[in-house]
Each structure stands twice: as C-alpha cells, then as structure tokens.
Amino acid sequence: MDTLTARTGLDLAALAAESSTPVLGRYFERSWARGEGHYLYDTDGKRHLDFANGIAVSALGHRHPAVTAAIHRQVDQLIAPMAAVGYAESTVRLATALAEVLPDPLDTVFFLNSGSEAIEGAIKLARRVSGRPGIVAFRGGFHGRTMGAASITSSNLVYRQGYEPLLPSVYLLPYPAVYRDFGGDEGRAVRVTLDHLRDLVRYTLPAHSIAAIFIEAVQGEGGYIPAPVAFLQALRAFCDEHDILLVCDEVQAGFARTGRMWSFEHAGIIPDVVCMAKAIANGLPLSAIASRRELQVRWGKSAHGSTYGGNPVSCAAGLAVLETIREQRLVENSAARGRELLAALRAVMAEDKRIGDVRGLGLMIGLEFVKDRATREPDGATCEAVIQGCADEGLLILSCGMEHNVIRWIPPLDVTAEEIETAVGIFRRVLATLPAHAGLADS
C-alpha cells in the first residue's frame, strides 16, 4: 500500500454535505487524496487507473515532473496576474509557443480562464468584427455553461432549461452524427446536414447576417462523434464563400488528443478562430482564443479583457505541457495507442451485442451502449453500471452522449500499451458480470 496517501477513511462527501453546493454534478461520490502519474488514490489508499483525467484536463497524468517543476519555479518568482498592468514572461512565451503549433495564419493568442470564457470571447469577437448578429452551431454540441456558451450548447437540456431568453440570433443545426442519426451512412450524413445549412440561409437567416459558425470537429459531451472530413471541408468552403468566421472548439479535442495536435487537422482545414482549454495547463485554470492577428486588431483594444487570464503560473505549466508533447512525441503516441485502444474495444464489441458502436480518433474514443443493435435504442443504464463497476475495480472512465449511453475513453496522452491492456481487461470483466438484455438484436 502506498504510504503517501491522505488520512485513511476521510469521507469528504460527508464533510461537504452541509456547506458545499448541491448544484454541481459529479460522476462519483468518492473522496480523493492525491494523484500520482496515471493513478488517483482515494482516502482509503486504493488506487485507480485514471482514464477520466478530470474530463481530459490532466492529459499528462498527475504530478507530471516537468509540469510540477515549472509550477514550482514560477510560484517562487511571480504568481499574481499581470495582464492589466504589463507582461509576465511565461505568459508571453506561451503565446509564442502556441502560435508555433497552430497552422498559419493563426498567430495571435488571447488568454482567459476556462473553455466557457474562450467561447464567450469568440462570440464577442465574431459579432464585433463582422458587424453581423447571427451565430450558428450544431445540436449535441457542448461549448460551456455561461450565458453565451450555453446559448450554443445543446448536449443536455439541463444546461438551457430555465435560463431563457438566451442570446438572440443563435441557430442550432443538426450535426452529422453518422452512427446515431444516419445508420452509418456517412455520405448521407454529409448531404443532409449541408442541406439543413443551405435551407437556413435560404429561408431563415441570410448568409450575410451570419457572423460565425461554431463546431466541434469531434463532438465531446454530445457523444465523442467525429464530424466527417467531407462535411468539415464543405463547411470551410461555405464560410469562405459567404465571409463567415469558422470557429473550431478544441477545448476537449485539442492538444494531441485525437492523434493530431488539433482535431480540425484531420480534415485538412484551417479555422478562423480556435478555442482551447482543458489540457492546455494540465489542471491549472487557463484557456485561449487564437486567430490571425488582423481579426484581433479589428476587435479593438479593451473590447474584451480578463483579470486572471494568462496567470503566470498557469502559463508556466502550459509551456511545460507543450514541451512535453513535443519532446515525448505524444501526438504520435496518441495516434499509436489510440489505434490499439480502438482495436481492443472493437474486439469487445464483437463479443457483446450491447455495444452498438466504437468510434473515435486517437485517444478520444466513444463506445456506445444500445438495447438493440437494429433500433440503436440507447442504453444509459448499462453504461452507468459499467462505469461504477469499473471504478470499484480500480478504473475511472466517464460517460457522455445525449442519453448518457456512451463511454468516453480519454486516457493520458502518454498512456502505455500495458495500461491500455489493463483498462480494457477491467472493462471486459465488469461488462461480463452484468446481465445481457433478453432478445438483444445482432445487427
């Protein structure tokens, strides 16, 4: 047993009951003591292989030596936010480093604190520089919970319910969810979703009134659904034709998660604006908006701001993240380990008819549970039972999807083949203990 765990038996859930908010949802009611590498330890000393990573945040695992060292060095020099009164070295250097790993002409970075803040800023940028009101996004997308971000979020009704009126002039279109909505027919998914976009500008909102189109190249909370390459390329062409800004939300899918540095790279496109957060500082609060410089010049001095955005300690961690990704070739590791994980999960699918689909890019893989493969009826109950069972056996995985029936596989970027084998083995054993549905269809 590890000797560095916190006090045995400390029940943090009980301590939180009186003073902590009941509003915040949690996947587990467990008390965590510390993290080390790819493991989380609870207050009873039990370790859990962490394939949740705080929802893709601690992408290099816990207490990564390079990140931790960078944080300590920066804490000893300068902690306070400096954006309003000048410059901090780590903040300036991280902006430069991010520009170097983004494709041209994306060369200018605005730091904020969270994914929601990055989306809010991008909405403001788009409307101000274009002089247009319209914002288009896609059903099933998750872009955040603040008012502007919630206005373009539809992955769960609870994020919108009771908050109307949200932002005006926001339009949500169907997303090309190939498995769930189009029976696996990618060509039809592309055609139909593009037809919805064309109908929007034909009947409802003229193209010259659209400021920006926001999209996740791989939907995150909506179900880990990659958009077809042809759809993303057509969307880029549509935006070019009508002088509309294309905004890619890379908050969950960025930073090598999909086997490329950015998920939009799989389609060979370059967006006008990129929003990033989560893995950017491996656990410290930080986010960013990136665009070509001309857009932010047009946005205008003091058009937006942030007291804490670009905190020197968070930016020092962000520099260590980028250096680690490069030095340890984690883009390549994500792609290679992702192929292994995809193959292993599809092998489980071949044995178990409760799994309707396994899909994804790199280390961003969704496994969808269904009650019937023929009807594709979602099975959230089995998904939840598997997640809790795996946690009991020492593996942390999370759900996503409109019906909470998709397991999102988001292991650390530096995960090993052995850890993948261990995780899939736990998953397979737990699934085997659950009763199968009577009369489950085979196809």
> For domain 67-327, is the CATH number 3.40.640.10?
yes
The reported pLDDT for the residue numbered 138 is: 98
* Residues in Cβ contact with 21 at an 8 Å cutoff, skipping those fewer than 6 apart: none
Locus of tokens 């010259």? 208
The reported pLDDT for the residue numbered 411 is: 98
Q: How far apart are CA 409 and CA 425, in angstroms?
A: 14
Q: What is the pTM of this model?
A: 0.96
Q: How far apart are CA 99 and CA 80, in angstroms?
A: 24
Residues 12-63+330-433, CATH architecture:
Alpha-Beta Complex (3.90)
Burial 68-77 (b: 16+ CB within 10 A, else e): eebbeebeee
The reported pLDDT for the residue numbered 107 is: 98
Give 379-409 pLDDT, tens digit per residue: 999 999 999 999 999 999 999 999 999 999 9
Q: Which residue intervals of 215-279 are DSSP H helices? A: 229-242
Sorted by where each begins, the domain ranges of the chain are: 12-63+330-433, 67-327
The reported pLDDT for the residue numbered 103 is: 98
The reported pLDDT for the residue numbered 162 is: 96
Burial 167-198 (b: 16+ CB within 10 A, else e): beebbbbbbbbbbbbbeeeeeebbeebbeebe
Long-range contacts of 21-30 (CB under 8 A, 24+ apart): 27/52, 27/387, 27/398, 27/399, 28/388, 28/391, 28/396, 30/391
Please give the average pLDDT of every successive group of 10 residues along the chain, which has 443 residues.
Answer: 57 92 92 96 95 97 97 97 93 98 98 98 98 98 98 96 96 98 97 98 98 98 98 98 98 98 98 98 98 98 96 98 98 98 98 98 98 96 98 98 97 98 98 77 50
Contact 402, 223 (CB under 8 A): yes
Contact 91, 111 (CB under 8 A): yes
Helices (H) and strands (E) in the chain, counts: 14, 18
Is the previous residue joined to 105 through a cis bond, with omega within 30 degrees of 0? yes
Retrieve residue 236's tokens: 């880029």
The reported pLDDT for the residue numbered 442 is: 52
